[in-house]
Amino acid sequence: MQSSPTSDDALGLWYALGRLYDGAAGRGRGATMAGFAAACIVGASVLLSAPVVGTSWAGPYAAAVPVVAGLVLGGGIFGWRLAGFRRRRAALVRALRAQGLDARRPTLGGLGAYYDVQLVLLRSEYEYLNSRRGPRARRSARLLEETFGFTPEDRFETGPLNVAPDTESVLELRERWEGRLAARRGLGGPPRVGSKEDMAYRIFPREMDVPEELEMRAAYLRISCGLLRERYGKKGTSSLPEGLRRRAERDIKEYRAVGGR
């Protein structure tokens, strides 16, 4: 079952939302670094000025001045960036709603906004989570299952991979996932997701320029090679059956090429 066609305007909005979430991921780190730099500069200034003017101007709080300066600058930058993020996100939410789309449920209308490369990565993450123990891994796997229509019974393997983007195999998987999503619409549809889930799994659609595609290919090959080592050890692929060995060697070779290793 195919998803309904996604208009160019809708695709542009989804990709803009993905870029916004990409930028938000570094918002806290940038503010923290700026605050730390401010604290260091102010602290150094206090120390250097002590022989000249002393520290009596600050009284017993001299040691706290750099900390306060760092907190004020870092907190101010974070607040300013957060306000800008919320304004841009609100504008995109309104624009998507005008297209009849739910900005918190990117797969409600199907997988038409997703490139094969991203779907292979997401399905690889799902398989990795299914191999882990603990409630957190189970919750995360369940989220990907309900959002994208994945199941453990999919004809999808990683460690090594048995599919590649832009092939008939992925088209068949898309049809399976679309069918499950369509069945879920009658039960309320996929769960609502936001920046927290996107920060963990990049769950919103991304536009595939060359750096983005290489990054995603490296990510799913990293998962595949990691699972390969877990399942078959670190002694190489010589003892594997022929077909499995060829797939494993292909994954390792491609990972070294796209990952620069």
The domain ranges of the chain are 8-98, 116-259
pTM above 0.85, yes or no: no
Residue range 120-144, pLDDT digits in tens: 999 999 999 999 989 999 999 999 9
Nearest Cα to Cα of residue 173 among 156, 161, 185: 156
Does position 27 have pLDDT exceeding 80, yes or no? no
160: preceding bond cis by omega (within 30 degrees): yes
Q: Is the pLDDT of residue 151 over 70?
A: yes
3-class DSSP assignment, residue 27 = helix
pLDDT at 57 over 50: no
For residue 53, give every residue at least 6 positions away whose Cβ sits within 8 Å of its Cβ, in sequence order, or none: none
Which ranges constitute the DSSP H helices of 99-234?
116-130, 135-148, 168-185, 195-201, 210-232
Q: What is the CA radius of gyration of the chain?
A: 24
Most confident of 28-32, 60-64, 106-110, 236-240: 106-110
Whether the predicted pLDDT of 175 surpasses 90: yes
